């Protein structure tokens, strides 16, 4: 099969080929994939979003004067997000391609607003999303990582304050953090940032659309949005708990003076003056229209019901995880994310993930970092309501199977090698050979990953990054 055959293929046949290829993917509906995807479980939402996407996909967000429909829909989405997150009449924002772009732009705006700083830095908790490290890498900003509380995994306000200096252009906290689902103490961190005259960004990419509804359901939700003094920007993804198609996120700023440094203009060439609100220039109107349509269709009451279903699923799954011998929940999650750890040395969580995959569930392994041990991540959505018992029964069976198989053993000599090898000394060819030798499959039946993950867990962070980049390169080889 080739993407460019000598003779064109009829459309129906092409769509059949797409459907056949998709059979190898993890399921995106039904609540069986507890990472990467967000499913409302509502009938007709996908079809509505696809129709709206098709209606606007040829429109170009590069020029809002040529496509005022996209300008109207973007302003509507920003206003909806601002209203949900305690914004004022001055609050402005931009629709981006996803949470990573929103985080990148928050860092870019902060850096550009302080051009006089020679070596700018961003202070962030060690649980802040890796997108902020990506932003620091791209934009020449030093990431100052501050360890979180070893038990709660929440940021330490005093340590965050102590890490700020005259070169700090941005402080970042999470609502919630991805790894453990906990909300950082935003008021205390924002107060420290404000006292230094530093911007404060709240990464609410995951929680921004569900935490306000959980609060309305009388759940305990720590303060985190623009109602907190000192918060200057917030990111919230609509393709997460607003259940819109990927990729649509909103970056909000408290006012337009804070937003302006993220914009780009160039008139220094013979063509049109390039004006960009985000990192992209040409932007399809499809995702924007799809998100607008989904918000209009579900509505405020609908999102409250979805949040209620999600909350109930979280409660049941969290209690059920705690009741399984050998498992426990890490920290005290505030929202819809759960990290579960092993409390027993006689089985391996990576094996549990493999067993769950064989039973049709995807749970996401997370490696140890600082005080956080190896764990499995669960992103729980409204579509998990009703299948909690099946999930928990399969999880208990997976633990039993992993216990019978025993812990995954990494040969001592290999562990010694991993501890001593210099990451930059490994060539891409060597890494690709290792990946090929590991026989990692990305099509068909899921391959066991426990042994590979155990090896990666032994590797120091820099080596793991190098190995996985090489593996990624080997995947993207036509």
**pLDDT at res. 253:** 98
**pLDDT at res. 169:** 98
CA separation for the pair 277, 288 (Å, rounded): 14
Kindly indicate the confidence band of residue 452, based on its pLDDT and cuts at 50, 70 and 90: confident
CA separation for the pair 148, 144 (Å, rounded): 13
CA separation for the pair 331, 377 (Å, rounded): 13
Instruction: Burial-class residue 317 by CB neighbours within 10 Å (0-12, 13-18, 19+).
Output: buried
**pLDDT at res. 314:** 98
Tens digit of each residue's pLDDT (9 = 90 or more) over 381-427: 999 999 999 999 999 999 999 999 998 887 787 778 777 888 888 88
Tally of CA atoms within 13 A in the half-sphere of 288 that contains its CB? 27
Tens digit of each residue's pLDDT (9 = 90 or more) over 100-109: 999 999 999 9
Instruction: Burial-class residue 478 by CB neighbours within 10 Å (0-12, 13-18, 19+).
Output: exposed
400 token code pair = 């039993």
**pLDDT at res. 439:** 47
b (16+ CB within 10 A) / e for 142-171:
ebbbbebbeebbbbbbeebbebbeeebbbb
What percentage of the chain has pLDDT greater than the value 90? 83
Tens digit of each residue's pLDDT (9 = 90 or more) over 247-276: 999 999 999 999 999 999 999 999 999 999
Residue with tokens 């220039």: 281
- Residues 158-182 have a mean pLDDT of 98
398 token code pair = 């997976």
CA separation for the pair 435, 419 (Å, rounded): 19
Q: Cβ(474)–Cβ(432) under 8 Å?
A: yes
- Residues 285-293 have a mean pLDDT of 97
In degrees rounded to 5, what are phi and psi of residue 264?
Answer: -130, 140
List of domains in the chain: 51-294 (3.40.640.10), 300-405 (3.90.1150.10), 412-475 (no CATH)
What does the H/E/C string look like for the chain?
CCCCCCCCCCHHHHHHHHHHHHCCCCCCCCCCECCCCCCCCCCCHHHHHHHHHHHHCCCECCCCCCCHHHHHHHHHHHHHHHHHCCCCCCCEEEEECCHHHHHHHHHHHHHHHCCCCCCCEEEEECCCCCHHHHHHHHHCCEEEEECCCCCCCCCCHHHHHHHCCCCEEEEEEECCCCCCCCCCCHHHHHHHHHHCCCEEEEECCCCCCCHHHHHHCCCCCCCCCCCCCCCCEEEEECCCCCCCCCCCEEEEECCHHHHHHHCEEECCCCCCCEEECCCCCCCECHHHHHHHHHHHHHHHHHHHHHHHHHHHHHHHHHHHHHHCCCEEECCCCCCCEEEEEECCCCCCHHHHHHHHHHCCCECEEECCECCECCEEEEECCHHHCCCHHHHHHHHHHHHHHHHHHCCCCCCHHHHHHHHHCCHHHCCHHHHHHHHHHCCCCCCCCCCCCHHHHHHHHHCCHHHHHHHHHHHHHHHCCC
261 contacts: CB under 8 Å, gap ≥ 6: 108, 109, 110, 111, 112, 113
**pLDDT at res. 410:** 77
Q: What is the mean pLDDT of the chain?
A: 93
Tens digit of each residue's pLDDT (9 = 90 or more) over 97-153: 999 999 999 999 999 999 999 999 999 999 999 999 999 999 999 999 999 999 999
What does the H/E/C string look like for 37-99?
CCCCCCCCHHHHHHHHHHHHCCCECCCCCCCHHHHHHHHHHHHHHHHHCCCCCCCEEEEECCH
Beta bridge partners of 234: 202, 252
Contacts made by residues 458-462, CB under 8 angstroms, sequence distance 24+: 458/410, 458/414, 458/415, 458/418, 458/419, 459/418, 460/418, 460/419, 460/423, 462/423
Tens digit of each residue's pLDDT (9 = 90 or more) over 22-80: 998 999 999 999 999 999 999 999 999 999 999 999 999 999 999 999 999 999 999 99
Q: Please provide the size of the chain in residues.
A: 478
Beta bridge partners of 266: 274
Tens digit of each residue's pLDDT (9 = 90 or more) over 295-324: 999 999 999 999 999 999 999 999 999 999
This model's pTM is above 0.85 = yes
**pLDDT at res. 442:** 46
CA separation for the pair 307, 436 (Å, rounded): 43
Spacing of C-alpha 47 from chain mean position: 24
Pair type for strands 364-366 and 327-329? unpaired
- Residues 278-301 have a mean pLDDT of 97
């Amino acid at each position: 099969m080739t993407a460019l055959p000598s003779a064109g293929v009829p459309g129906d046949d092409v769509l059949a080929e797409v459907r056949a290829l998709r059979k190898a993917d993890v399921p995106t509906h039904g609540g069986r994939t507890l990472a990467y995807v967000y499913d409302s479980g509502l009938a007709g939402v996908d079809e509505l979003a696809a129709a709206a996407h098709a209606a606007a996909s040829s429109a170009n967000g590069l020029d809002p004067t040529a496509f005022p429909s996209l300008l109207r829909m973007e302003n509507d989405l920003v206003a909806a997000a601002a209203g949900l997150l305690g914004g004022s009449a001055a609050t402005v924002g931009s629709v981006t391609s996803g949470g990573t772009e929103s985080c990148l732009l928050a860092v870019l705006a902060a850096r550009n607003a302080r051009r006089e700083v020679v070596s700018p830095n961003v202070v962030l908790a060690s649980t802040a999303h890796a997108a902020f490290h990506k932003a620091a890498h791209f934009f020449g900003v030093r990431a100052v990582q501050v360890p979180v509380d070893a038990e709660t995994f929440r940021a330490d306000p005093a340590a965050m304050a102590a890490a700020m200096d005259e070169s700090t252009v941005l402080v970042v906290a999470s609502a919630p953090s991805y790894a453990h689902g906990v909300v950082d103490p935003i008021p205390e961190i924002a107060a420290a940032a404000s006292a230094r005259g530093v911007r404060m960004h709240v990464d609410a990419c995951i929680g921004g659309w569900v935490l306000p509804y959980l609060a309305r359901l009388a759940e305990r939700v720590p303060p985190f949005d623009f109602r907190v003094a000192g918060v200057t920007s917030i990111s919230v993804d609509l393709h997460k708990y607003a259940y819109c198609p990927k990729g649509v996120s909103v970056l909000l700023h408290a006012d337009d003076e804070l937003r302006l440094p993220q914009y780009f203009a160039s008139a220094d060439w013979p063509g049109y003056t390039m004006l960009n609100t985000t990192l992209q220039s040409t932007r399809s109107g499809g995702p924007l229209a799809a998100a607008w349509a989904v918000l209009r269709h579900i509505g405020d009451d609908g999102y409250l019901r979805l949040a209620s279903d999600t909350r109930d699923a979280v409660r049941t799954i969290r209690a059920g995880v705690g009741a399984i011998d050998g498992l426990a929940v890490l920290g005290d999650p505030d929202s819809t994310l759960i990290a579960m750890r092993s409390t027993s040395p006689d089985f391996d969580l990576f094996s549990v993930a493999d067993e769950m995959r064989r039973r049709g569930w995807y749970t996401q392994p997370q490696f140890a970092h600082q005080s956080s041990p190896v764990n499995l991540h669960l992103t729980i959505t409204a579509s998990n309501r009703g299948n909690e018992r099946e999930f928990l029964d399969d999880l208990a069976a997976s633990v039993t199977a992993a216990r019978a198989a025993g812990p995954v053993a990494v040969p001592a000599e290999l562990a010694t090698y991993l501890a001593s090898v210099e990451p930059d000394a490994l060539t891409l060819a060597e890494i690709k050979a290792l990946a090929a030798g590991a026989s990692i499959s990305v099509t068909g039946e899921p391959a066991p990953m426990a042994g590979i993950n155990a090896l990666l867990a032994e590797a120091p962070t820099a080596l793991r990054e190098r190995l996985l980049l090489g593996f990624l390169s080997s995947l993207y080889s036509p």
